[in-house]
Amino acid sequence: MNAMGDLRCGLVALLCVVSSAGLSWSQPTPPAQKPVWRMSVVTDYFWPEGDLRNWADASDLVVVGSVADSRVEVTPSGSHLPPRVTTIYEIAVAEFIKGAGTERKVLLRVSGGRVDIGDKILDVVNASMPRLEKGERYVLLLKRSDSAAARTAADAPIYGPLAGAEAVFVISPDQRIKVPGQGRLARSFEGKSAAALLNELRGR
């Protein structure tokens, strides 16, 4: 038998072995996903009376800025209670409408967040305050934190939202306002120009 015949016989033999062995290829099995433990919390925020200018007067700080970074902190609450979950947003300030800072950043602390706690994912949704998204621009009405420990530990001033979702205004790429809040005052600015909102806050 010539060399070509030997090659054909070898290939046929190899195919027979593969067929008889039932050899097959499959995708690797993905690792099991961790269970997600979802909870909901409600924060009792302070709601000032009056118009938006009154809300600005009640704020310690009013800024235009975006989320530069965020982190989630978990504090144990006892053996029979779920841990307390808090999100700290680092806000890069583009403009101070009220108040001023030595640095162009402030820290915003809100209850809730999503975090891996080892055996599960803890997802705590704050019904009173939306999660802020990196890359979005916001107008934020803020109150200084009352926690002395938080003020001491932070590398920048820590604030909370004046009235939860009602004090958060999203500036869309076309310079229009979107509001996550459902209150009358917040909804009255839905779709208006960012300039109109900022003029109102400045009292113009």
Tens of pLDDT, residue by residue, the chain (204 residues): 554 455 344 444 434 443 444 444 445 555 568 888 888 888 877 778 888 999 999 999 999 999 999 999 988 776 677 778 899 999 999 999 998 766 788 999 999 998 888 888 888 888 888 899 998 999 999 998 765 445 545 567 799 999 888 899 999 999 999 998 888 888 899 999 999 999 999 886
Nearest to 59 by CA among 138, 153, 168: 168
Q: Which domains does the chain have, with CATH numbers?
A: 36-202 (2.40.50.120)
Question: Got the DSSP string for 23-92?
Answer: ----PPPPPPPPPEEEEEE--------SSHHHHHHH-SEEEEEEEEEEEEEEE---TTSPPEEEEEEEEE
Q: What is the pLDDT of residue 14?
A: 39
Backbone angles phi, psi at 150, to 5 degrees: -65, -40
Q: What is the pLDDT of residue 64?
A: 96
Q: Which residue has the tokens 């993905």?
A: 30
- What contacts 24+ positions apart, CB below 8 Å, involve 146-151? 150/109
CA dihedral over 198, 138, 167, 141, signed as positive or negative: negative
Half-sphere exposure of 32 (CA within 13 A, CB side): 5
Half-sphere exposure of 9 (CA within 13 A, CB side): 6
Q: What is the pLDDT of residue 15?
A: 41
